[in-house]
Amino acid sequence: MMSRRKAWAVCLVTAMLAALLGGGLTLYLVSRAGPIGKIWGIVNLLDKTFYKPVDRAIVFEGAARGAVSSLEDPYSTYMNAAEWQEYLIWTSGEYTGIGITINAAEDVVRIVETMKDSPAQGAGLKAGDIILRVDGDPVKDSEDASTRIRGPAETSVSLMVLRENETFERTIVRKSIMIPAVSFKMLEDQIGLIQLMSFNEHSYAETKDALDNLKSQGVRAVILDMRYNTGGFVDQCMSIADLLIPKGRVVSLRYKNQPEQVNLSKGEGLGMPLVVLVNGATASSSEILAGAIQDREVGTLVGTKTFGKGVVQSIFYLPDKSVVKATTAEYLTPNGRAIHGQGLTPDVEVRGDTEQMAKALELAKASLEKTE
Dump the DSSP string for 145-185. HHHHH--STT-EEEEEEEETTEEEEEEEE-EEEE--SEEEE
CA–CA gap between residue 218 and residue 234 (Å, rounded): 30
Sign of torsion, CA 9 10 15 21? positive
Q: Give the Cβ contact number of residue 168 at 10 Å.
A: 11
Task: List beta partners, residue 249.
Answer: 264
CA–CA gap between residue 74 and residue 327 (Å, rounded): 9
Q: Are 298 and 247 in contact (CB under 8 A)?
A: no
Annotation marks residue 208 as catalytic: no
Catalytically annotated residue among 129, 225, 242, 295? 295
Question: 3-state class of 278 per DSSP?
Answer: strand
CA–CA gap between residue 18 and residue 25 (Å, rounded): 10
Sign of torsion, CA 232 234 236 242? positive
Alpha carbon 57 to its chain centroid, in Å, reads: 26
Dihedral pair phi/psi, residue 36, rounded to 5° = -65, -45
Total residues belonging to the chain: 372
Annotation marks residue 309 as catalytic: yes
Cα angle, residue 8 at apex, residues 3 and 9 outer, rounded to 5°: 95
Task: List beta partners, residue 263.
Answer: 251
Nearest CA to 55 out of 47, 64, 65, 67 is that of: 47
Catalytically annotated residue among 129, 142, 239, 309? 309
Sign of torsion, CA 162 166 172 175? negative
**DSSP designation for 338:** B
Buried b (16+ CB within 10 A) or exposed e, 306-318: bbbbbbbbeeeee
Catalytically annotated residue among 76, 146, 203, 284? 284
**Which residues have a catalytic role annotated?**
284, 295, 309
